[in-house]
Chains A and B, each alone.
Chain A
């Protein structure tokens, strides 16, 4: 029996989402068609839109479905600066789909400021606001960091920007379903979310757009999504997304409480067995309930990920290239770790399906693997 502790990379497909998808796989399902088959697909797409909107306290018409959160982040940044050319402010701990897109926009002429983080991966709202100049038109601050679990100061930044005519985007991929997210109180103008982190299928996501915010829409060539994103919607995938969103909304508080308790037990167990273990990310206070990022001095996270995998536990070493090789984490670098330590992180991320047995298995297994890696290192140094 495998233990899966990599929910921040992707979550297992929820059985209910799978059922909803299967019901739409097979019959023709173009939601823009005039016939009955099309109407059935349209109903599924709009039901999904309502479920996704409800998850974040939005209205269905404010949801633009995309191919995923990467496209949603691209649309938010490129669409904002396309509509209102100007400066962009973001942070050093954003996901690559925000950071690399921001760098691309900078190369195309947009002034860019990237605000750093503290040693726990937290971003100071005052520094974000101070980085905003008169020419700034967009600020992008993540709602939660998927590597170390720190929460971004989105509400504070929104309050500081009020009345300044600057749009605020937040990448909420790692937050939605794990902490309560309500666009009615958040104060952001744009919010990205993903299906597969919630237990829906990969390949679909959404950008929430506050009424009145008009982006330069990037995907043209069809009337879909009210002209905001051309291309035939995948009705089966969106049905899975909507179902996962509905379940996430219903279960969010209970899942948060349970994963937080399990993550605490995991941390306590590891600390008892390996006293010099270091936690990367906030030690207390506001953080994602499901994310535990740890370093064992003298141990590469990558070696532990491989040993855990061989022993039946799926975990992650943070950033990975397309081939799956662990690279120095840009988040840990932004937190002030040197390049070697930035390769040392081991991320264990829990989800609704995680059990106490899963945690017990890792607490039983990991200390021995740490000792093995350290032993090999010592033997290598002695030789």
Chain B
């Protein structure tokens, strides 16, 4: 058999179903794999329904499908760091970590054991080849669905064995294709929240998972150190947050500017303008091309999913490159979130936000 074996990561949703269908149509030897990431069960991710949905797609399209248990690895690489980040006053990005460690890390290892040459996923992003043979990671054709922000850590070796079959399609086109193939998941609603956190209640999840005494309660203060209120733990806040501060009304809206887990202090500022920073500090930076662009290169920097990249100049400083916002002012970074660097719709790389350049 000369057909190339391709493992398709299948969540049970419509995107990965169509990704698999496109691999089948391309003549690949497709093996579908779903990952069991938590033992929670119904209502969250990895419910039996999702596995049954994925298996029904595989049956319909005529390829084998298996479920691999990765609950231990997911807890180690994603869930425990998620809790630790919140307790330390950071706002984690579990999807990017899952991509980095689980999907494009451990799942690829397992796929390679199965003799796969490539791994396909239902991510909305595109991979193309530059003139010199170098691979580029680009935003999806459908900007509203683009997931390239969560994929900034992919390198040349990973891109070379990765396929994003739906990255050039709109979501509507994906649903149409699924319906045309008679796939029952064609109309399946999307899950928008962190898959392992029930009802989107991250604070409650952290409180249930935290060790006794690990929560960091403290004061809510203004920039002058004036105490405005008390709070039950820094994990309930994120930089830039306006709602749910529990402060007495009046005056301009207040926003969270800083979290200090050591003292439990939440610092707020009045008015959105006070959230600005001169630049960002980004840690553990990786570059899709394998090498960093020259210092001073102006990049687009996206600091949240769906955030429109702002222009920033690059200043390399050891392992913690700094990015100064063009024009000297930009949004404050949220420690723990990813910063992805773009040139137009091409992802150059990214890293994890450590703080601001004040």
Contacts and interface: CB of A to CB of B under 8 A. Distances in A.
Interface of A: 300, 302-303, 306-307, 309-310, 321-327, 339, 372-373, 376-377, 379-380, 383
A374 to B, nearest CB: 9
Task: Rank and list the top 9 A-B pairs by shortest CB-CB distance, nearest first.
Answer: A325-B69, A376-B112, A325-B67, A323-B51, A323-B67, A303-B113, A376-B113, A373-B113, A325-B36
Interface of B: 31, 34, 36, 39, 48, 51, 64, 66-69, 72, 109-110, 112-115, 157
B269 to A, nearest CB: 46
Given A327-B69, A379-B112, 9 more contacts: A306-B64, A310-B114, A321-B39, A323-B51, A324-B51, A324-B67, A326-B69, A376-B109, A377-B109
A302 B68 contact: yes
Main SS class of interface, A: helix
Contacts of B157: 383
Nearest to B70: A325
A48 B69 CA distance: 40
Contacts of B36: 321, 323, 325
Nearest to B69: A325
A300 B48 contact: no
B160 to A, nearest CB: 12
A322 B113 CA distance: 24
Contact of B114 (A307, A321, A325, A379): A307
Given A322-B48, A323-B36, A326-B69, A310 B113 contact: no
A372 B111 CA distance: 12
Contacts of B109: 376-377, 380
Nearest to A317: B69
A339 B36 CA distance: 17
Contact of A323 (B31, B48, B64): B48
Nearest to A309: B64
Contacts of B34: 323
A365 to B, nearest CB: 13
18 contacts: A300-B113, A302-B68, A303-B110, A306-B66, A310-B114, A321-B67, A321-B69, A323-B51, A324-B51, A324-B66, A324-B67, A325-B67, A372-B115, A376-B112, A376-B115, A377-B109, A379-B112, A383-B157
Nearest to B157: A383
Contacts of A321: 36, 39, 67, 69
Contact of A339 (B39, B72, B113): B72
A304 to B, nearest CB: 9
Contacts of B113: 300, 303, 307, 372-373, 376-377
B171 to A, nearest CB: 27
Contacts of A303: 110, 113-114
B30 to A, nearest CB: 11
Nearest to A299: B113
A326 B72 CA distance: 12
B155 to A, nearest CB: 11
A373 B157 CA distance: 20
Nearest to A380: B109
A344 to B, nearest CB: 13
Which of A325, A373, A377 has its CB near the most chain B CB atoms (within 10 A)? A325
Nearest to B66: A306
Given A309-B64, A323-B34, A380 B69 contact: no
Nearest to A379: B112
A278 B48 CA distance: 34
Nearest to B47: A323
A309 B66 CA distance: 10
B36 to A, nearest CB: 5
Contacts of A322: 48
A306 B114 contact: yes
Contacts of B66: 306, 309, 324-325
Contacts of A323: 34, 36, 48, 51, 67
